[in-house]
Amino acid sequence: MAGFDGPALRMLAAVSIHQADQEVADLLEPALREVGLPCFAQGTVAAQQAGLTAMAARVLRGSLTPRELTAWAHKTFGHGPLELAQHRPSASNA
């Protein structure tokens, strides 16, 4: 991240692609904390909501189509219970 520097962020940046599976999990939370970003435990509802929010922001920026978001959400969440990902008809859609 431009303008940010710290020991955990440098360690994360230095991880080899060949070691990423073993090392990133331990380094990610401290690196995110250094830059003031939240880190959610994998598989939690908070992590799922953060992922969905980030992907939806890509749609708003135009770097992802709504169809691509839908495909990603279905692949990621399936028909699971993530309330945020469910389409709810509103009075304006009726």
Q: Which pLDDT tens digit goes with each residue over 21-44?
A: 999 989 999 999 999 999 998 889
Tokens of 85: 């990902």
Locus of tokens 């060949």: 18
43, 40, 49, 54: which is closest to 82 by C-alpha?
Answer: 49
Phi-psi region of 18 (alpha: psi -120 to 50; beta: other; left: phi over 0): alpha
Q: Which pLDDT tens digit goes with each residue over 51-81?
A: 999 999 999 999 999 999 999 998 988 876 6
Tokens of 30: 């401290």
SS (H, E, C) 50-71: HHHHHHHHHHHHCCCCHHHHHH
